[in-house]
Amino acid sequence: MRIRAAAVAAVLTVLAAAGCSGDSTPLARPAGPSAEAPAPAGPATAPDTSCRPRASLRPPATLPEPGKMPAGSYMRTIQDRGRLVLGTGQDLLLFSSRNPFTGRIEGFDVDMGRQIADAIFGDPDKIQIKVIPYDKRISSAHDGSVDLVANTLTANCARWKDVDFSTIYYDAAKRVLVSSTSKARGMGDLGGRKVCAARGSTSYDGIVSAASKPVPVARDTFGDCLVAFQQNEVDAISTDDAILAGLAAQDPFVEVVGEPLSQEPYAMAVSKEHPEFTRFVNAVLARNRANGTWKRTYERWLPDLGAAPKPPAAEYRD
């Protein structure tokens, strides 16, 4: 076993519900095989390329002043309610995790939501965080049970059919996590070896379709994958580098290796019922790219990933 049993138990407690970036099916997913056994390998679903997934709704030229949202807009509905309801996770270190000392859920994704609350109210604390499982991220935005979802959520064409997305606020890339003593330097070195990803994720699809023919293993969450890895049940984990960074921060005996396997552009999801709110969110993101807020947010949460890059450029579809 790579680390002590007590450490494994701690990870079970902290990460049991950790999410993934890429659930393959946006709204509904058939029940998968037992988490106790490797999922059968099969052909990966071909990605939907029918749209420009990075392109969102063009923002207005100016933002309304905080506390003065236009009558009849969804922003006014949120203002009158007195809080923005943000859907996110609580177990994804660096992006959205519960601080064990304060009990607050915090991270890069949470700050994205707080910045929207600040633009509506002039107060980033006027936010209600609703913890949602990763397989409810699309449905929670779709049915309006939250105003906004920010939870390492990849914008893709299949999901655009169910929700609207903001412009991209973070570019992740799929890579591989292995033991620091492993000779594997990427997926190409893992042929015949067990590689774990969350059930129903695009990360799992990537393992299935890998040319090196690793053995794909499904678990309910990436926290479960980490525990399986620490108990020597699997040889590696594959998912977005942002998620792997959070896992690696909790285990000194791992490293993230390999060239990017795919690009995963993160965006916030909004109900299609409120395009004016999506445009408002995009205006806030555009302002924050320009005034340095995005850079400061990156430096607060992600300094271990290196110097802050340029924020993802906005693309619009109208």
Question: What digits encode the pLDDT tens for the residues 222-243?
Answer: 888 999 999 999 999 999 888 8
- pLDDT of 245 above 80: yes
Residue 144 token pair: 């309006």
How open is the CA angle 30-32-34, to the nearest 5 degrees?
A: 155
Q: How far apart are CA 211 and CA 208, in angstroms?
A: 9
Domains of the chain and any CATH numbers: 5-20+171-263 (3.40.190.10), 73-169+267-316 (3.40.190.10)
Over range 38-47, report the average pLDDT: 50
Rounded Cα distance, 301 and 140, in Å: 25
Q: Which secondary structure element, helix H or strand E, spans residue 79, and what is its range? A: helix 74-81
Tokens of 77: 């509905």
* Residue 4 structure tokens: 């002590």
Mean pLDDT over 46-75 rounds to 93
Is pLDDT of 96 > 80?
yes
Residue for token pair 């042929």: 191
Q: Average pLDDT in the 174-178 region? A: 94
Report pTM: 0.81
Residue 74 three-state SS:
helix
Percent of the chain with pLDDT over 90: 65
